[in-house]
Structure 1
């Protein structure tokens, strides 16, 4: 199938007069999770990871992925005529320079890329006299005959009881920043920033409760908001009131800018696509290119949002605990004819979450990996890949839920029976890194990259590491992967601030044998004991498998943290779970001496 699609795409490239084309994993809003109609990379290559890029030239094609997806890409590419390479614009530039000749052109869809993301590529190709050419029509769309229809679901108000701040108050607060910058308007490039500013939610994107939208916010706090006609109902119109003008064609946003005599627009080039910048420049509008202020504002949750996150995590922890309590019996009951596998485990966990108040969707596709599949960092199970779970070995489940009061993301690694002896040391070293972050105190102004090494030290001590970040930001009934905050090796330059929710998820992966990851969500708060210092508070409430812990490797302080955490889990969840899970919970949270 891939060969036929590559052939059709190359014919279309020839028709459009370019010799190569970039196929990113993304949409015009730069979303991480995209509608089915924007899954161009998966359609072309069968790669289903959430990050990657394909480059197709006349003779060869390549898929570029990062360390999280190395094994997954190998499996999904199979024997297709597509090379696998390491993700990075430098690597992509090297590959394209080897494929293209002087005077030839690389085509790209300007709606799917940002100018900063293409800067290095433009420079490197320009040095070889190779043109970087924006195309009016995406060549993949031209040959994708059964492409799904783009979504246009209903947008709905998100109540003040969950947001803690009215849209008008948010708009006024952000508009004051416009005055400081002497800008006439702020460009809102994607559904997430629109969802936060206007207090609306939707169902256009899998696992992301948003409606496809973009907008302009003016200095007086009024706004023009793009939503499809089908997304708008009476409740939404009443919610937005007359201060927000709704339009159903993106071109009307630019016409609105002209009507409002906008001379200078604040845009974030990192999250605004090239096509939008082209349209604004065509109107002779000056661009103030700085980081979007809404991304930072929504990252710092207010008291209502934090209370909602706590409540959502209590219900979610109860659901996950019920699943973990049932897991051993479900595995033991499996037979050769009716096995309980990775896929059935996902279905069971989903059923337990669906029974909880407010659950609306998974926050991402669950990573359910048994044995060697657990070593694939972002493994996605399907009917063909699903391994039967047996009463032996190690199982990793990374999952989360979307609730109107909060978004959850939690990973637990559990022993299903006998397991390789070395796994106990690996698990304990991952746990030590997890506790190091959980108990850390740090001064105001500290960025995530400055604390990442605390999570890795115990692994580094024995020459081990993991090829993913330690923590990502999480939204409030929004994206499970939210910026700008993160904890990782790469520099972000973003200081951690009170109210920011992050994951704490060190791991270790032994290819072909097992994967280990322990993930809780935490949030930043003021340190009561030391002025000018911050610390973290746990949100996630689920036992950590004591069977996998080598207590001799833990310090007294680490044992104390674990025992206190388990006591809190037990006391909080006991009233929320069934009798069978109460028995399991009592045993799972016993102190370690």
Structure 2
């Protein structure tokens, strides 16, 4: 099927007079998760990971993915005539310049790319005599005959009890920064930005509780907001108030900017697509490309949001414990596999107050599948699980008061001896981050090595970041904060929520990852320093721990953490799970 689609795309490109085309995995809002109508990369190639890009040139196709998706892409491409390469600007440029020739044109959909994203390609292609051209119509849309309709579900108010700050106050706070920068308007390019600013949520995107939206915030705190007509109710209009004008056509946003006499527009270069920026420039408006102030503002959770996250994690932890306690009996059945485990965990979460959705597609990997970092189980790939080997489950929930994300690695029975050392080294890295104290102004990349040192000592590593930001009933992957090798130049600040998730993956054998969510707070002992506090509450499998590799301080951290888990969750779980929980959190002794 995919070869037929590739052939159809080659023909569509010929009709548009271009020899190549870029197919990113995103939508016009630059969302990580996209609605089915925007899954063009998956439709074309079969690869459905959350990051990737396909390049088509003449009769050749390449798929570029990063280290998280190497194995997944290999499996999903299969024997198609698609070459797989590393997702890097240099690798993309090298392939394009080798496959295209002087005089060729490379087309792209300006709604799906940012200027910053295309920048590394422009000069090298130009040097080779290859033109980069925006296309009025995406050629995939022309051949995707059964493409799903764009979602337009209801947008709903997000109550003050969960948001902790009125929308009008947020708008005034952000608008004051416009005045300081002498900007007339802020371009609200992304539904997450709009969700936070206007205190609204929706269900247009799987796992991301937003309504598809974009808009403009003006210096006086008023705004123009795009939402589909079907998304708007009388209750929403009342919630937004008279200072927020609603429009139902994206082009009306740019007409509104003209009516407001906007001359200078602040736009985030990472969120704003090429088409939107061109609309402003065609109207002789100056575009100020700097990071969106809302992204940083929503990263630092207020006290109400932090308290909500604590509450959501307690309910989520109780659900996870019910699942973990039931797992040993479940794997005794001949028809229980990775997919059934996901379904069981979902049922446990659905029993908890406020649960609305998974925060992402659960990663349920038994044995070798666990070594595929972002493995997504399907009915075809699901392995039957037995009372042996190692199982990795990475999952999360969306609750009105918080978003969760947790990974646990479990021994279901006898397991390879090497796994104990690997697990313990991952645990040492996890504890190193969890117990770290660091000065204000520290960047995430400056602490990443603490998570990797024990693995590095044994010549081991992992090919993903150590931590990502998490939203408040928003995206489970939220910027700008992160912990990883790559430079972020973003200081860690109080109120930020991050994951702490070192790992190790032995191809074909097992995957190991231990992930908790933490938030940053001021140190109570040392002025000018920051530290982490745990949000996630779930036992860490002690069967996989080699106590001889842990220091006394690390054992104390683990025992203290397990005491907190037991004390908090014991009243909230069933009697049978309570017995399991007490055993799973029993203190260990130094060897």
1:70 aligns with 70
**How many Å apart are 1:58 and its aligned residue?**
1.2
2:217 aligns with 217
Asked if 1:196 corresponds to 2:199, the answer is no
Counterpart-to-counterpart distance in 1, 2:270 and 2:394: 29
Write the mapping of 1:30-69 to structure 2, written as runs, cut at 5 A. 30-69=30-69
SS of the residue 1:22 aligns to: strand
Write the mapping of 1:350-429 to structure 2, written as runs, cut at 5 A. 350-429=346-425
Counterpart-to-counterpart distance in 1, 2:565 and 2:123: 54
| Residue deviations 1:120-174 (CA, integer Å, cap 9, x gap) | 1011101111000000000010100110001000000000000000000000000
Query: Which ranges in structure 2 are unaligned for 5 or more consecutive residues?
Result: none
2:438 aligns with 442
Please tell me the root mean square deviation across aligned C-alpha atoms, in Å. 0.4
1:490 pairs, out of 472, 486, 490, with 486
Counterpart-to-counterpart distance in 2, 1:429 and 1:411: 16
**How many Å apart are 1:89 and its aligned residue?**
1.5
Asked if 1:13 corresponds to 2:9, the answer is no
Counterpart-to-counterpart distance in 1, 2:240 and 2:48: 37
Asked if 1:544 corresponds to 2:528, the answer is no
2:242 aligns with 242
2:550 aligns with 554
Query: Which ranges in structure 1 are unaligned for 5 or more consecutive residues?
Result: none
Counterpart-to-counterpart distance in 1, 2:252 and 2:167: 22
**How many Å apart are 1:57 and its aligned residue?**
1.3
| Residue deviations 1:326-365 (CA, integer Å, cap 9, x gap) | 0000001x12xxx100000000000000000000000000
SS of the residue 1:436 aligns to: helix
Counterpart-to-counterpart distance in 1, 2:127 and 2:81: 29
Give structure 1 regions of 4+ aligned residues with deviation exceeding 4 angstroms.
none
**How many Å apart are 1:19 and its aligned residue?**
0.1
1:253 aligns with 253
Counterpart-to-counterpart distance in 2, 1:353 and 1:535: 30
Counterpart-to-counterpart distance in 2, 1:495 and 1:372: 37
**How many Å apart are 1:385 and its aligned residue?**
0.3
Counterpart-to-counterpart distance in 2, 1:114 and 1:351: 39
Counterpart-to-counterpart distance in 2, 1:78 and 1:181: 51
Counterpart-to-counterpart distance in 2, 1:303 and 1:453: 30
**How many Å apart are 1:59 and its aligned residue?**
1.9
**How many Å apart are 1:402 and its aligned residue?**
0.1
| Residue deviations 1:234-279 (CA, integer Å, cap 9, x gap) | 1100000100000000011000000000010111111100000100
Tell me the TM-score normalized by structure 1.
Answer: 0.99
Counterpart-to-counterpart distance in 1, 2:239 and 2:205: 22
The size of the alignment, in residue pairs, is 589
Asked if 1:22 corresponds to 2:22, the answer is yes
Counterpart-to-counterpart distance in 2, 1:161 and 1:461: 47
1:174 aligns with 174
**How many Å apart are 1:425 and its aligned residue?**
0.3
1:433 aligns with 429
**How many Å apart are 1:90 and its aligned residue?**
1.2
SS of the residue 1:121 aligns to: helix
SS of the residue 1:73 aligns to: helix
Asked if 1:349 corresponds to 2:345, the answer is yes
| Residue deviations 1:517-553 (CA, integer Å, cap 9, x gap) | 0000000000010000000000000000000000010
Write the mapping of 1:221-300 to structure 2, written as runs, cut at 5 A. 221-300=221-300
Counterpart-to-counterpart distance in 1, 2:188 and 2:356: 26
Counterpart-to-counterpart distance in 1, 2:345 and 2:552: 34
Counterpart-to-counterpart distance in 1, 2:46 and 2:303: 43
Asked if 1:331 corresponds to 2:327, the answer is no
**How many Å apart are 1:288 and its aligned residue?**
1.2
**How many Å apart are 1:420 and its aligned residue?**
0.5
SS of the residue 1:420 aligns to: coil
SS of the residue 1:210 aligns to: coil
Counterpart-to-counterpart distance in 2, 1:3 and 1:182: 52
Counterpart-to-counterpart distance in 1, 2:201 and 2:300: 19
Write the mapping of 1:91-102 to structure 2, written as runs, cut at 5 A. 91-102=91-102
